[in-house]
């Protein structure tokens, strides 16, 4: 599969490593330009590209940059990109530690809805609830006891099934976590967040989540 990855940090870098190890073609971009990705390219054999090229190179395009930087992406990032291309959002809103205030989310918008609105494209939410290091190292063969499961939420069943299959290839059980309107159940501070549960545990954690955004996950500025 051709996979575009926008963001080459903790998550983007490790997804590049794992997808390349599985034999996928990876087109990876950061904010500073392809020439700054030499180390990752040498290590993995991924193709370094611009952000625009990454959006146009994948059957799946994974957007994995800090939330505060999402509005900096080109306005027409996905213009002309086929609707068949699956866009994945790995993002989490960290208002106090990193992102500052994002009004739409503070006003109650689900994080991935906000990302989808910014990108002007439907998204599938995945990979947001596992530490990058665990994503790199803790994958196991299907059927292994204690295999970690990851929730995948989105409105398009075909797109979601493609992401669930990639999750399985990476060594994790994919759990269908419903539509994007359900994806608050896997946001930061929910039981499934960084829980490393198996599939039954993920289902239980999603079911027991509370919609309330706790004060420590809200911006302190008005
Ligand atoms: N770290 C984790 O364990 C983890 C786990 C799950 C989900 N997440 C979420 O996944 C997202 C990415 O997290 P991360 O930890 O991988 O971030 P990170 O290590 O800080 O890396 C951010 C990457 O985004 C790139 N970037 C920033 N602005 C950009 C722009 N306008 N255009 C293109 N690329 C841009 C950066 O490129 P430059 O270096 O060139 O600026 C860098 O490669 C966040 O929402 C985070 O909350 C993180």
Average predicted confidence (pLDDT) for the chain? 97
- Token pair of 113 as six digits: 């809805």
The residue whose C-alpha atom lies closest to atom 5 belonging to ligand 1 is 131
The number of C-alpha atoms within 13 Å of 140 and in the hemisphere containing its C-beta is 13
Name the band, by pLDDT with cuts 50, 70 and 90, for residue 123: very high
Give the model's pLDDT for residue 108.
Answer: 95
For the residues 13-30, what does the mean pLDDT come to? Answer: 98
In percent, the amount of the chain with pLDDT more than 70 equals 100
Name the band, by pLDDT with cuts 50, 70 and 90, for residue 34: very high
Instruction: List the Cα angle 79/81/84 in 5-degree steps.
Output: 140
Give the model's pLDDT for residue 222.
Answer: 74
Name the band, by pLDDT with cuts 50, 70 and 90, for residue 221: confident
The residue whose C-alpha atom lies closest to atom 10 belonging to ligand 1 is 91
- Token pair of 194 as six digits: 């960084």
The residue whose C-alpha atom lies closest to atom 33 belonging to ligand 1 is 31
d(CA 15, CA 107): 32
For 28, the enclosing helix (H) or strand (E) is: strand 25-29
Q: Does the structure show a pLDDT above 90 at 56? A: yes
d(CA 36, CA 38): 6
Give the model confidence (pLDDT) of 125-179 as tens digits. 999 999 999 999 999 999 999 999 999 999 999 999 999 999 999 999 999 999 9
Q: Does the structure show a pLDDT above 80 at 107? A: yes
Ligand 1 atom at shortest distance from the alpha carbon of 73: 31
Q: Is the CB of 90 under 6 A from ligand 1?
A: yes
Centroid of ligand 1 to alpha carbon of 91 (angstroms): 8
Q: Is 8 left (phi over 0), alpha (psi -120 to 50) or beta?
A: alpha
Pocket test for ligand 1, best of 15, 29, 52, 64 (most atoms within 8 A of CB): 64
For residues 184, 101, 218, 179, the Cα torsion angle rounded to the nearest 10 degrees is 0
Maximum distance among all alpha carbons in the chain? 48
For 212, the enclosing helix (H) or strand (E) is: none
Q: Does the structure show a pLDDT above 90 at 181? A: yes
d(CA 48, CA 20): 13
d(CA 189, CA 21): 32
Pocket test for ligand 1, best of 14, 15, 28, 31 (most atoms within 8 A of CB): 31
């Amino acid at each position: 599969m051709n996979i575009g990855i926008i963001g080459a940090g903790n998550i983007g870098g490790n997804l590049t490593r794992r997808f390349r190890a599985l034999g996928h073609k990876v087109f990876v971009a950061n904010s500073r330009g392809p020439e700054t990705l030499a180390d990752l390219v040498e290590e993995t054999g991924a193709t370094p590209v611009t952000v625009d090229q990454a959006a146009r190179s994948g059957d799946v395009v994974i957007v994995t940059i800090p939330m505060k930087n999402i509005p900096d992406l080109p306005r027409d990032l996905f213009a002309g990109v086929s609707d068949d291309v699956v866009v994945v959002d790995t993002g989490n809103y960290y208002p106090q530690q990193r992102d500052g205030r994002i009004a739409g989310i503070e006003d109650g918008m689900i994080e991935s809805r906000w990302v989808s609105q910014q990108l002007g494209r439907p998204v599938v939410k995945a990979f947001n609830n596992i530490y990058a290091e665990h994503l790199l190292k803790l994958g196991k063969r299907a059927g292994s006891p204690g295999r970690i499961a990851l929730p995948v939420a989105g409105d398009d069943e075909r797109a979601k099934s493609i992401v669930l299959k990639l999750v399985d290839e990476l060594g994790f059980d994919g759990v269908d976590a419903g539509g994007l309107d359900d994806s608050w159940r896997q946001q930061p501070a929910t039981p499934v967040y960084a829980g490393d549960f198996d599939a039954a545990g993920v289902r239980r954690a999603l079911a027991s989540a509370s919609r309330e955004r706790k004060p420590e996950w809200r911006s302190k500025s008005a």
